[in-house]
Structure 1
Amino acid sequence: MTLSTYTLRPATVADAALIQRQRDAMFTDMGQDPARLAQVHGVGATWLRGALGRGLYTGVLAEAGAEVVAGAGVLWQDLPPNADTGLTVRAYVLNVYVRPDHRGRRLARRLVEHLLAECAARGVRLVSLHASEAGRPTYEALGFTPTNELRLTLPGEAGA
């Protein structure tokens, strides 16, 4: 298959469960425990339905025929201006997933390029993401650079 074989389409509220399954597969591929992912699957699908419905999340899905084989999304963040931008909307790319039997065809790059075009069309200048080791070369080729972000996970129940 070539890239021209794939059709991109916007994700809808009806795609929330599918996007959550892709998200679960993405995290499983990165070594997360499937049992822990199962604990938050329903909450994730519910969140996606709401975020898609409110326009907080924009997704794009790639189809081969009538079958969805890949997807990606962007979370529109309302943040204060900073030294890098006077704009109050930023984009966070997430849920970039390509089914294993469709990898190696630059499909993830095409999906992210589509989302970056959407960012540009909205005037959003700052775009961030977290990359897996497998995805890092694709993002770096698109111009993403590492930042100094730190993370702290407070104790509590998954899915709570």
Structure 2
Amino acid sequence: MTLPPGYALRPATVHDAALIQSQRTAMFTDMGSDVAGLARVHEAGVAWHARMLACGAYTGLLIESGGEVVAGAGVLWNDFPPNADTDSSVRAYVLNVYVRPEHRGRRLARALMQAALAECRARGVDIVTLTASDAGRPTYEALGFTPQAELKLLLKGGTP
């Protein structure tokens, strides 16, 4: 993984929880999510990130430039039973991949993904999943990710 000059990668700490949640909000805002809904869950998101960082269930990766965090990504470590593809019980879900607009086009998302995948390999993880935006899909596909069939059901407010 190579970063452009002037950029540095560092691990996130519990103290970065609010920053990570702010990046997450910006990411979903860019994708057209409800801004009021995102604001409503902000503090709960900060608390979740702090808790997951503290217990090690979430690994955050941040890229800094000029003393400011300009990009980030995270990996949520999940416990699943082995299957035909792996005997490992740990799976990785990549989330919160975000690059501030003025720093886009410098392959920072790719660098974050390479660092996340290196951490997955170091932990013996064989299966990595993520949900891609249209803008992010080419980066993930270039790294070898393939589309999968997934369904979603929102139980809140509906009667399935």
TM range (shorter): over 0.9
Task: Report the 3-state secondary structure (helix = DSSP H, G, I; strand = E; otherwise coil) of the residue aligned with 1:155.
Answer: coil
1:31 maps onto 2:29 in alignment: no
Letter in 2 for 1:106: R
Counterparts of 1:1-160 in structure 2, within 5 Å, are 3-156=4-157
Task: Report the 3-state secondary structure (helix = DSSP H, G, I; strand = E; otherwise coil) of the residue aligned with 2:60.
Answer: strand
1:60-87 CA distance string (max 9 Å, x none): 0000021000000000001111111111
Residue segments in structure 2 that go unaligned for 5+ positions in a row: none
Distance in structure 1 (CA, Å) of the matches to 2:57 and 2:145: 22
Distance in structure 2 (CA, Å) of the matches to 1:64 and 1:76: 27
Deviates more, 1:75-84 or 1:22-31: 75-84
Task: Report the 3-state secondary structure (helix = DSSP H, G, I; strand = E; otherwise coil) of the residue aligned with 1:95.
Answer: strand
Letter in 1 for 2:148: T
Letter in 1 for 2:150: E
Q: CA deviation at 1:148?
A: 1.0
Identity score, percent: 68
1:107-158 CA distance string (max 9 Å, x none): 00000100000000111010000000000000000000001111111125xx
Letter in 1 for 2:6: T
Runs of 4+ in 1 over 4 A off after TM superposition: none
The aligned length equals 155
Task: Report the 3-state secondary structure (helix = DSSP H, G, I; strand = E; otherwise coil) of the residue aligned with 1:3.
Answer: coil
TM-score in terms of structure 1 length: 0.95
Distance in structure 1 (CA, Å) of the matches to 2:63 and 2:19: 12
Q: CA deviation at 1:4?
A: 2.7
Letter in 1 for 2:73: A
Residue segments in structure 1 that go unaligned for 5+ positions in a row: none
Distance in structure 2 (CA, Å) of the matches to 1:43 and 1:16: 11
Task: Report the 3-state secondary structure (helix = DSSP H, G, I; strand = E; otherwise coil) of the residue aligned with 2:5.
Answer: helix
